[in-house]
Amino acid sequence: MCELLGMSANVPTDICFSFKGLRERGGKTGPHKDGWGVAFYQGKGVSTFKDANPSYQSEIARLISDYPIKSTAVVAHIRQANSGGVGLENTHPFTRTLWGRYWTYAHNGQLQGFETLPVGQHYVVGQTDSEHAFCYLLNALEQQFPVAPLDMKLAFDHLASLCPALQQLGVFNLLISDGDYLLAYCSTKLHWITRRAPFGVALLSDMDVDIDFAKETTEKDVVTIIATLPLTCNEQWQEMRSGQAQLFRAGEPQ
C-alpha cells in the first residue's frame, strides 16, 4: 500500500517536520520504497516534486525535509507499488487542470474493476488504478459542473459523494486539493490533527526529532496535518472512520 500526507494552513507554513517523519517510512521504517512525491501550493500555483526512488534515499526528499518551502496546501505520498510499475508516470501526487485551477490528488489503496470508470477527455498517462480514479473524479466533476461552481465547496461536496462508490471497488483513502480546499476521504486508515495556539512540543514517531511549534508559529496560525498513520507520538490525532469525508480550508475542518 502507500502512505498519504496532507497539510492545510491559514498562513504559508512549511511541512519539513512532518515530511521528515514520512520520509523515513519510504524504505527505512516503512516499506513504501517505490517512489514519493509532494505538491506545494502557493496561491493558485503549484510545484510538484516527484521521484521514483525511495524517499529515504532521495536527495530531493532530504532537501524537502530540511528546506522550508512555505505553502497553505500540501499533498504528499510515498508509494508501495501494486497497480502499475515503478516509474515517474505512476508516482503520486497527480496534478491536472480543471476550470483554470490545478487539482492535485494522491491515493492510498487498491481498486478492482477501475478500468471501466469513464474518464472523458481526462486521459490517463500511466498505468495505475489511482490515476484512473483521479481522471474519473475530474470527469465526473466536469459533467456535474460544466462551468466552475461559484462556491467551490459544492465541487468538493460532489467529490465526497463519489467516494463511497470508489471504496466499493477496494480500498480508497484519498487526498485531493485545488490549493484552497483539501478533501480527505477515509476508506481504511487516515488521521488528522489541527494545531493552534497554545502550541507545544511534538515528537516524531519515526525518528528522534522534536519541534517546539511555539517557537515556529504565531498565535493566529492554524495548521492541520492529515496522515495515514499519526506522525507524532505525543499528540492526540483524530482517527477517521471508514466512509468518512472531511474537508479542510485554511487549516480549519469545514
Nearer to a copy of itself, 24 or 51 (CB): 51
Instruction: Count Cβ atoms below 10 Å from residue 74 Cβ, excluding itself.
Output: 29
Q: Is the CB of residue 190 less than 8 Å from the CB of residue 182?
A: no
Q: How far is the CB of 50 from a copy of itself (least distance, A)?
A: 4
Catalytic residue, from 2, 135, 163, 186: name it.
Answer: 2
Q: Is the peptide bond before 93 cis (omega within 30 degrees of 0)?
A: yes
List C-alpha distances in Å: 59 to 36, 67, 157.
Answer: 12, 12, 38
Nearer to a copy of itself, 137 or 186 (CB): 137
Q: How far is the CB of 30 from a copy of itself (least distance, A)?
A: 22
Q: How far is the CB of 60 from a copy of itself (least distance, A)?
A: 7
Nearer to a copy of itself, 78 or 171 (CB): 78
Q: Which residues bind a copy of itself (CB under 8 A)?
A: 37, 41-52, 59-60, 63, 67, 69, 87-91, 95-102, 121-126
- Distance between CA atoms of 198 and 216, rounded to whole angstroms? 12
Question: Annotated catalytic, 2?
Answer: yes
Q: How far is the CB of 231 from a copy of itself (least distance, A)?
A: 23
Buried b (16+ CB within 10 A) or exposed e, 227-244: bbbbbbeeeebeebeeee
Nearer to a copy of itself, 59 or 208 (CB): 59
Cα dihedral sign, 237-241-243-248: negative
Q: Between 59-66 and 16-25, two packed helices, what is the crossing angle to 10 degrees?
A: 150
Residues with a catalytic annotation lie at 2
